[in-house]
Amino acid sequence: MLQFLGRGSAFRSEHNCAFFTCGNELVLLDCPMSAFHKLRHIGAEKLAGGDVNITVLVTHTHGDHTGGIATLIHYEYYIKHRTVTVIAPSEEVAEDLDTLFTRIEGCAPEGFRLITATQAAREWLLDVIPTHHSPELEGRCFGYRLLVDGEKAVYTGDTAVIEPFLPYLGSDTALYSDCSAYNPVVHLNITELLEKVKGRDIKLYLMHLDDTKKILDAAQGSGALLAPLYES
Ligand SMILES: [Zn+2]
Ligand SMILES: [Zn+2]
């Protein structure tokens, strides 16, 4: 199961960030600045149970998903003397991230390894799923199907639609979905989401929350749960 260092949307103080471990690899799904600080405080070694290699799997380039990656790279390089692997969902997003890390943030080239999902060849990375989120980032927003502790998980990233993910939802799959209490153009309304996955025998975890109370009210009786926050 995924655990979360934060499950808030862009305008909340704790942004969405899930993680899991596979051997000594600690995989972060995006890395907002709030998650970097939480991770620094907790200690990546503690999450991985010893020696750790950190990988960040990126969904898209909004700041509440990528804002902490360069700082993580600096920290790991200068303080911990480790290299961070960053996996981009596509070549185009990899180019954008390279500009961010190299040109804008000035990360040391030896401090990170930027590869695409195709190049990554990780057994836990089953599928890259293109979705629609922000019109300005059309074609550059993705979710993933993952294998976490032997269980399949579909992770939407930020999304305005659930349809791209429906073909991947089996009864053996947990769905971690973006949702909103409101009707924003770029996110999924909670009631609409519940309606569209109704009748499917899946575990549904709600993430990227804007108004947690309203979302909980709307989800009452549906069986959906809030994404689990890591407790140290
Ligand atoms: Zn977001
Ligand atoms: Zn976004």
> 10-residue block means of pLDDT along the chain (232 residues)?
97 97 98 98 97 98 98 98 98 98 98 98 97 98 98 98 97 96 97 96 96 98 97 87
Q: What is the pLDDT of residue 167?
A: 97
Give the domains, in start order, of the chain with CATH numbers.
Answer: 3-226 (3.60.15.10)
Q: What is the pLDDT of residue 56?
A: 99
Q: What is the pLDDT of residue 225?
A: 98
Nearest alpha carbon to residue 9 among 166, 126, 158: 158
CA of 192 to the centre of ligand 2 (A): 19
Phi/psi for 182 (5° steps) reads -110, -160
The structure tokens listed for 229 are: 């926050």
Q: What is the CA radius of gyration of the chain?
A: 17
Q: How far apart are CA 15 and CA 36, in angstroms?
A: 10
Q: DSSP letter for 8, please.
A: B
CA of 126 to the centre of ligand 1 (A): 22
Whole-prediction pTM: 0.98
CA of 191 to the centre of ligand 1 (A): 19
How many Cβ atoms are within 10 Å of 57's Cβ, its own excluded? 27
CA of 21 to the centre of ligand 1 (A): 22
Q: What is the pLDDT of residue 232?
A: 81
Residue 110 region by backbone torsions, left for phi larger than 0, else alpha for psi between -120 and 50, else beta = alpha
Q: What is the pLDDT of residue 77?
A: 98
Within 8 A by CB and 6+ apart from 182, the residues are 189, 210, 211
Give the ligand whose atoms come closest to the C-alpha of residue 9: 1
CA of 159 to the centre of ligand 2 (A): 8
